[in-house]
Structure formats: structure tokens, C-alpha cells
Copies of this chain bind each other. A is one copy, B any other.
């Protein structure tokens, strides 16, 4: 029997003894090449292996550990954090309104549920909402922003509710990308970055423009670096968008007011659309650090800026003290957007009908929680505990030879730098693997701890990192830190 490969089309057609056996329509070679280029390390191969190991443990396979600790993602409830009672009461009331007759539910929860249900078609969260989001929830979001920003007005018409912040970020990028060849839209993102950005840019076929955060200055952002990156990029694309993550993911850096002013001036000078990813706005721990919203700073810089700079800022129900990731709630506020483009944005989001209504309801509670003088006010120790854990993590890592770690000023992650022995680097390269992937994979196999290698976020050539969430409960976090310490020493010795 002889087999001949014909190459008439992009599909592999096998001609076997003259009979054509068609290959698949959809193969790695014939699929969307942009999708093939997408990478998303936070849920990449290391997490798939972690899930496999969990399965093996359940099946009784012997391991040097009894559970896998998934410190790869900021998933508070998965780490044992409890939901806020009031939020969940309102969600239960919205889901099953018969409970509105139940005396066990507090009056303020019922009031909230009634207000949300009254805004739903047929008084049901099972009806589609407006594509931009339920109007009264957008009003509540606008009031929240006004309060946060010391009274600077926010217009509910500029608020778009979304399926988590990721959804809004991708939608906004999609609107902005155009042109071919040297005219293709370039989008500036920080390195290290949250890989949603690089994934979305690959998917959209946009040009990724890297600007580097300065690890030696606590992952600070410097406008000189922005300018360098921009000017280099102008040679091969049309830079139009500047993305900032503040507080930083994975860096944990909280930007100073001065830095934000500089960024705004730069964006205006260079005529860039500014995307401010502020989902960690309530997660600030370090003394002397404070969250400044880009919008507030923009308005305080005067009408020259506030009336012209086009920007979008993003927020989510997934972080802060509530960590309600599974509800996929989020919003963006757009500023100075061309009204015709806004109409296009509204049209675009309408194709997906609406964000999940229960996520919208959750967002409404997050932006408008019970106040200290209201019956359902709940004091939560989550943020204080996170502050403590941020210090603990920094201190612990910095005692390990070969690990250096910036303070976790905000957000939920530490991104320590690890020194890897030359032999380990060589071995990884032999295996076609990133050296920090080799490190993290070995850590997972030996200690059951799942981290994300720094290569998944981007890092300066020749440096290596990992991202770890600080969300595990304090006692467990201590164990994790100790295990990583032991592993690091062992790893260094093994490859020396």
C-alpha cells in the first residue's frame, strides 16, 4: 500500500490507493491562526496538570502531599473565604421571590431584592435585561463612582455592565482595533501584565506594545519607558491605546498620584485611548499607599484633560472583600467617547443580549452595600487579613536566598523574582520549556502547590518569577510559603 499526500487545499487529504480520505475540516493548521497564538497562563498547562493530580489523589495515588493548593488564581471562595450574608440573601430573594414573605429575611435585604425585581422584565431575573445593563443598577454604579471620586459626576449612560471585567475589556479592545500592516492598531500593555490583555490582542490580531515596569522601583511605571516603547512601536504600527492595571496584577504595585498624572499627560500628548483596569481598587494594603482612580485624577487636572481624554475604566465583583468571581459581574465607565462610537458599542453588546442578570444584581449590592448604621451591615476582616498576609508573604520570601520580593502594596498577588541555577535553565531549554515553567511544574509535582510561571505574564529577558495569590487562609499561607522555601533550596541544590 502506498500513501501520497496531496496539497490541493489547506486540508490534509490522504490519497490511499487512489481513494481520497479527507482529513478533518478543522485542524491545528486550518484553524484561526489568531486563536492559536492566544496564551492564557493563569489556566494553562500547569493548572491542567494540577487538576489531573487532584484526580489521582482522589483515586488513591500516593503523593508526597495530600491536597493540591491552587495559588494560581485570585479565587477567594475557593480558598475558603465566606460570602457576605446580605449579598447572598438578596440573591436568594431575587432567585425565589416567595421568600419575600419569609420573616427570617431582614427588611433591608427584601427592599433591595424588590427594587432589583421591579427593574426586571416580568419582575424576574430570568428575563433578558437591557444589553447595557439594568438602568437602576447603572444608576447605582454611577453614584458609587461619584462617592468614590469625591463628587465628580458620573453619568449612568456611560456605564456598561458586563460579564466580569474581562468581557468589557475585550469589547473595548475590539472597538479600538483597525488598520492593516503598519497602520494596524498598537496597544501598549505593561510587562509583566495580566494575560487577558495579550490573549485578547492575539485574538484580535492587534500589535502588542510592551512597556516594562521597573522591578527595582517596586514595579513602578515610568513615563520615559512609555515613551521609549511608543516611539519604537511607531516604526511598525499605529499606537492608539494605553492599558494600565492599577493596583497591579501580577505586580501588586499601587500607583502614586504623580505617576497617574504623568500617564494622563502622556496619553493626551500622544493621543492615546486610555484603558484603566481598576478591578483591585479596594485591595490596597501598604502604608502610605492609596488608590487614586484615573477618572478622579483626570478631572482634578482640569477641563483641558477631563473634557478630552478618551478613557474607559473597569471594575468587577470578583475581587475586594467579596470575591464573587462565579457571578461574573462587572462594569466599565467610558469617558469622552464619541456619541456615534457609543451607539456602536451599544449595538455590539446587544448581539450577546445581556450580561447575566444575577451578576448584575450582585454588582448592585457590591457598589451599594449596607452602611454601618444599617441592620445588615457586616464587618468583614477580609481586607485586614489580606494586608497581614501581604506583609507576611513579602517578609518570608525575602529571607530565602535566591528569592527577592517587592512589597505587595495592593491587589492579591506576589510576583517574586527567583534566581535559577544555570543547569536548570539549560535543562529547561533542552526540553523546550520556559525555565520558570520547569520550576513551577516541579514544585507542583513535589509539593502540590500550583503557581503560575512568570513567563506567562512577561518578564525582562533573563529574569524569572512566579505569581502566587496571597488568598489562602493565614495558617495555610504559612505552610505554602514554608514549602516553597524548602523547595527552592532543594531545587537550587539539585541543579548546582
Contact = CB atoms under 8 A, between A and B. Distances in A.
Interface string A136-180: 000000000000000000000000000110110010001111110
Contact of A26 (B26, B131, B338): B338
Interface of A: 9-11, 22, 24-28, 30-33, 35-36, 38-40, 42-44, 51, 73, 75-81, 83, 85, 88-89, 91-93, 95-99, 102, 104, 120-122, 124-131, 163-164, 166-167, 170, 174-179, 183, 195-196, 199-200, 203, 238, 240-241, 271-273, 308, 310, 322-328, 336-338, 340-341, 344, 347-348, 350-359
Given A35-B344, A38-B351, A43-B131, 11 more contacts: A10-B183, A25-B176, A27-B341, A31-B176, A32-B176, A38-B347, A40-B347, A126-B324, A166-B351, A170-B352, A328-B353
A460 to B, nearest CB: 24
B27 A338 contact: yes
Contacts of A85: 96, 98
Contacts of A350: 40, 42-44
A115 to B, nearest CB: 16
Nearest to A205: B205
A356 B353 contact: no
A128 B75 contact: yes
A352 B167 contact: yes
A358 B358 CA distance: 8
A212 to B, nearest CB: 23
Nearest to A196: B351
A326 B27 contact: no
Contacts of A176: 25-26, 31-32
Contacts of A44: 347, 350
A340 B120 CA distance: 43
21 contacts: A26-B240, A32-B176, A32-B178, A43-B353, A44-B347, A51-B130, A77-B121, A78-B127, A80-B122, A88-B96, A91-B95, A95-B95, A120-B326, A124-B326, A163-B163, A163-B356, A166-B351, A166-B352, A167-B352, A326-B357, A356-B358
A367 B22 CA distance: 35
A174 B51 contact: no
Contacts of A10: 178-179, 183, 238
Contacts of A98: 85
A48 to B, nearest CB: 8
Given A26-B273, A199-B351, A127 B326 contact: yes
